[in-house]
A and B are shown apart, each in its own frame.
Chain A
Amino acid sequence: EADIYQTPRYLVIGTGKKITLECSQTMGHDKMYWYQQDPGMELHLIHYSYGVNSTEKGDLSSESTVSRIRTEHFPLTLESARPSHTSQYLCASSEGQGRNTEAFFGQGTRLTVV
């Protein structure tokens, strides 16, 4: 069973609020990812990290920001939430450079901005 956790699972928040979605993994994985997925739709990569102090933007432009201060923790922050940010956010992790292994996904955070 994958040891990657996301909190909260569900979040309803008002427009303009600042939010942080948490993602933690206990597998010691170097690579971590954030994906945005609307119901029944594709997975869009919005951020990824190769390790501590490494963050990169993904293919889909996002107003969110991420940080990687510790290996196990990869939080995503929205400074000012808008209804267009309503979506599901999935965090994933995999082993580091040179070891191509599967990605493990968290259960996701379903965000609704009203």
Chain B
Amino acid sequence: QQPVQSPQAVILREGEDAVINCSSSKALYSVHWYRQKHGEAPVFLMILLKGGEQKGHEKISASFNEKKQQSSLYLTASQLSYSGTYFCGTEMRGGGSQGNLIFGKGTKLSVKP
């Protein structure tokens, strides 16, 4: 049930772009994206709902392919503050699993000057 994230880690120079992927083997209601900095709680970035609705920050963009149960998070013109671990979380459709938010293993992003 756990979504699969890739890559596991990525190192960028300031200003470079990155894409983080998340996929699930189950039908999804929604995909969430969070960023966690060392020693802090995860912070919400974006939620993508089936049907195409998105809610999130202006500088972050993401896509959700409902047929493939895949989502991608796009980080453009990266800044030092983007460093952290990015987690995708999924809420599955149907049965007893609906509504429980399961996270992937995370993608460690480091942005260097």
Contacts and interface: CB of A to CB of B under 8 A. Distances in A.
A binds B: yes
Contacts of B91: 100
Interface string B76-92: 00000000010101010
Given A42-B105, A101-B47, A101-B55, A90 B100 contact: no
A59 B32 contact: no
Q: Chain A interface: which size bin?
A: 20 to 34
B89 A103 contact: yes
A74 interface: no
Contact of A56 (B32, B41, B43, B96): B96
Contact of A43 (B42, B44, B47, B55): B42
A79 B96 CA distance: 27
A45 B102 CA distance: 6
Contacts of A43: 42, 87, 89, 103, 106
A36 to B, nearest CB: 11
Contact of B44 (A56, A104, A107): A104
A48 B29 contact: no
Q: Interface of chain A, helix or strand or loop or mixed? A: loop
A29 B105 CA distance: 26
Q: Chain B interface: which size bin?
A: 20 to 34
Contacts of A59: 1-2, 100, 102
Given A102-B32, A105-B41, A105-B42, A94 B101 contact: yes
B30 interface: yes
15 contacts: A41-B106, A42-B106, A45-B102, A45-B103, A48-B99, A56-B96, A58-B102, A59-B102, A94-B101, A100-B29, A100-B49, A101-B47, A102-B55, A103-B34, A104-B44
Interface of B: 1-2, 29-30, 32, 34, 38, 40-44, 47, 49, 55, 85, 87, 89, 91, 96, 99-106
Closest 4 CB pairs of A and B: A102-B44, A105-B41, A43-B103, A42-B105
